[in-house]
Amino acid sequence: MSISEISPGEALRRVRGGVRLIDVREAHERATGMADGAQGVDRASLEAAPQDHAPDTRAPLLLICQTGRRSLLAAEALHAAGYAEVVSVAGGTTRWQSEGLPMTAPDADVDLDFHERYSRHLRLPEVGVDGQRRLAAATVLVVGAGGLGSPAAFYLAAAGVGTLRIADDDVVDRSNLQRQILHAEDRIGMPKVDSAAATLSAMNPRTRIEPVAERVSAANIDRLLDGVDVVLDGADNFPVRYLLNDACVLHGVPLVYGAVHRFEGQVSVFDAGRARGARPCYRCLFPEPPPPEAAPNCSEVGVLGVLPGVIGLLQATEVLKLLLGIGDALAGRLLQFDALRMQFRQTRLAADPACPVCAPGRAFPGYIDYAAFCAAG
């Protein structure tokens, strides 16, 4: 037997005639308002113990959700459980509102912008309201507002990370626009961090942007890391990468690494500061920097414009996983991407027991002259 569906207008008429209407959406969805006369019972609870919420299996019953799909599935489950007159409201609460039918007021303390903006996150059990609030309380340091930092910062701000501290001392150049999507033609010559702040604040005013128009160095790295939960490495040079690694080990902050070259990129998470001896740091992978002639930057050899987008979004994904405490982070794994072959491959990484920075029991050696160190490599 197929489940009957009725229009919101017909549902309202029946509710006013005494038929019961149950809103099967989650509590955080119902907090923003329900169809007038509806009672809230989430779908999982209703299907698990229907008689606790609707004892009379012979009484007519109406179900509503957001768009009509979940209520239809719930109605099918109740029909299978012996409910004879269960009906779903077609189009759900969305159609109910669009037709101008009466709604109950949102809860007095509900933040409508929060619930509407992050509604797709809130529906994920792995995120939910608590996880979204965890993101809102987090601070991420994004080093570089260029090819990697642009897509990463875009999606971290959209996802609701509370504070993005963006450090970059460069200005927008026309050659950046092929891949650095935070910037625009009319911002050429503007500091990249100010351009980034303008773009991100316009997209999500709930995220606080802290622009730092400085080159990352041993002199300011401790200040930049103050209060930071995760660091995203969007740097384009080895001295900064080694500095970030050493500082993150010292401060016990996870570092999400990314790099691009022509048509290839790589991503990893270095979290040795919180798990010495169990997880590697960047120096475990690259104890010595390559010679300068073996590591040309994008301005010298070029890069496919979309490649930083792919790698930057993978980095942003790892940041969100770390902040939410979900999934398996790339700690101990290097993910490599070949755009021409459209292939990913993984390499397992082990902690180096002799690492000069992250070996268990080894005192922090202090910051070094990273430019000289890399030039000597």
Q: Tell me: the pLDDT tens digits for 170-205?
A: 999 999 999 999 999 999 999 999 999 999 999 999
Beta strands of the chain (E only): which ranges? Answer: 5-6, 20-23, 38-40, 61-64, 86-89, 139-143, 163-167, 208-212, 230-233, 255-261, 264-270, 333-338, 343-348
pLDDT at 375: 81
Assess contact for 157 and 164: CB atoms under 8 A: yes
- Neighbouring C-beta atoms of residue 143, cutoff 10 Å: 26
Catalytic residues: 298
- Per the model's pLDDT, the better-predicted residue between 365 and 291 turns out to be 365
CATH 3.40.250.10 fits 5-110, yes or no: yes
Topology agreement, domain 5-110 and domain 122-376: no
Residue 76 has pLDDT above 70, yes or no: yes
Which tokens in the block code for residue 96? Answer: 């109910």
Assess contact for 238 and 215: CB atoms under 8 A: no
Q: What is the CA radius of gyration of the chain?
A: 26
- State mean pLDDT over 163-167: 98
Report the DSSP pairing between strands 163-167 and 139-143: parallel
CB burial of 322-348 (b: ≥16 within 10 Å; e: otherwise) equals bbbeeeebbbbebbebebeeeeeeeee
pLDDT at 2: 85
Domain ranges of the chain: 5-110, 122-376
CA–chain centroid gap for 373, Å, is: 35
Q: Could you give the strand order of the β-sheet that contains 38-40, starting from the edge strand earlier in sequence?
A: 5-6, 86-89, 61-64, 20-23, 38-40
CATH architecture assigned to 122-376: 3-Layer(aba) Sandwich (3.40)
The pLDDT > 90 percentage for the chain reads 91
User: Which residues, in sequence order, are bridge partners of residue 12?
Assistant: none
Residue 294 has pLDDT above 60, yes or no: no
